[in-house]
A and B are shown apart, each in its own frame.
Chain A
Amino acid sequence: MNRMRRRSSLLTLLAIAFVVTAIWVNTTSFAEGSWQAQWLPLFFGVSALNFMLRAAVPLILGALCGILCERSGIVNIGIEGMMLTGAFAGFVAKVATNHWPLYASLSVSVVAAMAAGGLMGLLHALFSIRFRMDQIISGTVLIILAMGLTAYLYDRDAVAQGKFTAVAIPFLSDIPVIGEVLFTNPPITYIALILVAVVHVALFHTRWGLRTRAVGEHPGAADTMGVNVNAYRYMNTIIGGMLAGLAGGFLVLEAVGQFQEGMTAGRGFISLAAVIFGNWTPFGAMTASMLFGYTQALQNELLLAGVAGIPRQFVSMIPYVVTIIAVAGLVGRVRPPAASGKVYNKDGQQ
Chain B
Amino acid sequence: MRYHNFSFALLTAFAVLQTTAQAEVKVGLVTDVGRVNDRSFNQSAWQGVTEACEQLGAEEGKDCKYIETRDAKDYADNIDQFIEAGFDVVVSVGFALGEATASAAAENPETFFIGVDQFQGAPLPNLAGLIFNEDRSGFLAGALAANLTESGTIASVLGTDLVPPVVAFGEGFIAGAKYIKPDINVITTYHPGEISQAFTDPEWGAATTKQAIDKGADVIFGAGGITGNGALQEVAANEGLFCIGVDTDQWLTLPAAHPCLVSSAMKLITPGVIDLIKTFSDGTMTSGNYFGGSALAPFHDFDDQVPAEVKTQLAEIKTGLEDGSIKTGYGQ
**13 A-B pairs whose Cβ atoms sit less than 8 Å apart in the complex:** A47-B214, A48-B211, A55-B207, A165-B237, A257-B236, A257-B256, A258-B226, A258-B230, A263-B203, A297-B211, A301-B211, A303-B189, A304-B211
What is the bound-complex CA distance between A73 and B331, given in angstroms? 61
B-contact bits for A152-196, CB 8 A (1 contact / 0 none): 000011011111110000000000000000000000000000000
In this assembly, does A344 line the interface, its C-beta being within 8 Å of a C-beta of chain B? no
In this assembly, does B187 line the interface, its C-beta being within 8 Å of a C-beta of chain A? yes
* Residues of A19-55 contacting chain B, CB below 8 A: 45-48, 50-51, 54-55
Residue contact A260 to B202, C-beta cutoff 8 Å: yes
Q: Name the one of B38, B190, B214 contacting A156, with C-beta atoms under 8 angstroms.
A: B38
B-contact bits for A43-77, CB 8 A (1 contact / 0 none): 00111101100110000000000000000000000
Residue contact B229 to A50, C-beta cutoff 8 Å: no
Residue contact A256 to B214, C-beta cutoff 8 Å: no
Residue contact B215 to A257, C-beta cutoff 8 Å: no
Q: Name 4 extra pairs, CB < 8 A, besides A256-B233, A265-B201, A312-B192.
A: A164-B237, A165-B238, A255-B203, A260-B201
Q: Name the one of A47, A159, A164 contacting B211, with C-beta atoms under 8 angstroms.
A: A47
In this assembly, does A115 line the interface, its C-beta being within 8 Å of a C-beta of chain B? no
Interface centre among B201, B211, B215, B234 (most CB of A within 10 A): B211
What is the bound-complex CA distance between A160 and B237, given in angstroms? 13
Residue contact B211 to A300, C-beta cutoff 8 Å: yes
CB contacts (< 8 Å) of A256 on chain B: these are: 202-203, 206, 230, 233-234
In this assembly, does B319 line the interface, its C-beta being within 8 Å of a C-beta of chain A? no
In this assembly, does B37 line the interface, its C-beta being within 8 Å of a C-beta of chain A? yes
A-contact bits for B189-209, CB 8 A (1 contact / 0 none): 110100001001111001110
Q: Name the one of A48, A160, A255 contacting B206, with C-beta atoms under 8 angstroms.
A: A255
In this assembly, does B324 line the interface, its C-beta being within 8 Å of a C-beta of chain A? no
In this assembly, does A228 line the interface, its C-beta being within 8 Å of a C-beta of chain B? no
**Min CB distance, A147 to chain B, in Å?**
12
Residue contact A257 to B233, C-beta cutoff 8 Å: yes
CB contacts (< 8 Å) of B197 on chain A: these are: 265
Interface centre among A47, A51, A159 (most CB of B within 10 A): A47
What is the bound-complex CA distance between A256 and B229, given in angstroms? 9
CB contacts (< 8 Å) of B203 on chain A: these are: 251, 255-256, 263, 265
Residue of B nearest to A186 (CB): B237
In this assembly, does A9 line the interface, its C-beta being within 8 Å of a C-beta of chain B? no
In this assembly, does A316 line the interface, its C-beta being within 8 Å of a C-beta of chain B? yes
In this assembly, does A299 line the interface, its C-beta being within 8 Å of a C-beta of chain B? yes
What is the bound-complex CA distance between A51 and B204, given in angstroms? 10
CB contacts (< 8 Å) of B278 on chain A: these are: none
What is the bound-complex CA distance between A164 and B206, given in angstroms? 13
* Residues of B44-66 contacting chain A, CB below 8 A: none
What is the bound-complex CA distance between A251 and B230, given in angstroms? 11
Q: Name the one of A51, A156, A159, A265 contacting B210, with C-beta atoms under 8 angstroms.
A: A51
Residue contact B211 to A161, C-beta cutoff 8 Å: no
In this assembly, does B327 line the interface, its C-beta being within 8 Å of a C-beta of chain A? no
Residue of B nearest to A48 (CB): B211
**Min CB distance, A263 to chain B, in Å?**
7
Residue contact B237 to A51, C-beta cutoff 8 Å: no
What is the bound-complex CA distance between A48 and B237, given in angstroms? 19
What is the bound-complex CA distance between A304 and B38, given in angstroms? 27
* 3 interchain residue pairs of minimum CB distance: A47-B214, A257-B233, A156-B37
The binding surface of chain B is classed by DSSP as: helix
Q: Name the one of B38, B226, B230, B256 contacting A160, with C-beta atoms under 8 angstroms.
A: B256
CB contacts (< 8 Å) of B35 on chain A: these are: 156
Residue contact B200 to A159, C-beta cutoff 8 Å: no
In this assembly, does B212 line the interface, its C-beta being within 8 Å of a C-beta of chain A? yes
What is the bound-complex CA distance between A241 and B254, given in angstroms? 32
**Min CB distance, B125 to chain A, in Å?**
36
In this assembly, does B307 line the interface, its C-beta being within 8 Å of a C-beta of chain A? no
Q: Name the one of B207, B215, B256 contacting A255, with C-beta atoms under 8 angstroms.
A: B207
What is the bound-complex CA distance between A55 and B203, given in angstroms? 9
Interface centre among A54, A255, A256 (most CB of B within 10 A): A256
Residue contact A162 to B189, C-beta cutoff 8 Å: no
In this assembly, does B255 line the interface, its C-beta being within 8 Å of a C-beta of chain A? yes
Residue contact B210 to A50, C-beta cutoff 8 Å: yes
What is the bound-complex CA distance between A348 and B238, given in angstroms? 58
Q: Name the one of B37, B192, B211, B233 contacting A163, with C-beta atoms under 8 angstroms.
A: B233
Residue of B nearest to A156 (CB): B37
Residue contact A304 to B215, C-beta cutoff 8 Å: yes
Q: Name the one of B37, B201, B211, B237 contacting A50, with C-beta atoms under 8 angstroms.
A: B211
Residue contact B208 to A300, C-beta cutoff 8 Å: yes
Q: Name the one of B37, B200, B212 contacting A260, with C-beta atoms under 8 angstroms.
A: B200
**Min CB distance, A31 to chain B, in Å?**
19
CB contacts (< 8 Å) of B214 on chain A: these are: 45-47, 50
**Min CB distance, A184 to chain B, in Å?**
11
What is the bound-complex CA distance between A170 and B256, given in angstroms? 29
Residue contact B187 to A54, C-beta cutoff 8 Å: no
B-contact bits for A295-314, CB 8 A (1 contact / 0 none): 00101110110000000100
Q: Name the one of A164, A265, A297, A303 contacting B192, with C-beta atoms under 8 angstroms.
A: A303
Residue contact B255 to A51, C-beta cutoff 8 Å: no
**Min CB distance, B205 to chain A, in Å?**
8
What is the bound-complex CA distance between A297 and B192, given in angstroms? 12
Residue contact B226 to A304, C-beta cutoff 8 Å: no
CB contacts (< 8 Å) of B233 on chain A: these are: 163, 256-258
Residue contact A161 to B37, C-beta cutoff 8 Å: no
What is the bound-complex CA distance between A249 and B206, given in angstroms? 15
Residue contact A300 to B200, C-beta cutoff 8 Å: no
Residue contact A258 to B211, C-beta cutoff 8 Å: no
CB contacts (< 8 Å) of A50 on chain B: these are: 210-211, 214
CB contacts (< 8 Å) of A163 on chain B: these are: 233, 237
Residue contact A51 to B256, C-beta cutoff 8 Å: no
**Min CB distance, A87 to chain B, in Å?**
10
Residue contact A263 to B202, C-beta cutoff 8 Å: yes
CB contacts (< 8 Å) of B189 on chain A: these are: 300, 303-304
Residue of B nearest to A257 (CB): B233
What is the bound-complex CA distance between A301 and B187, given in angstroms? 11
What is the bound-complex CA distance between A162 and B255, given in angstroms? 10
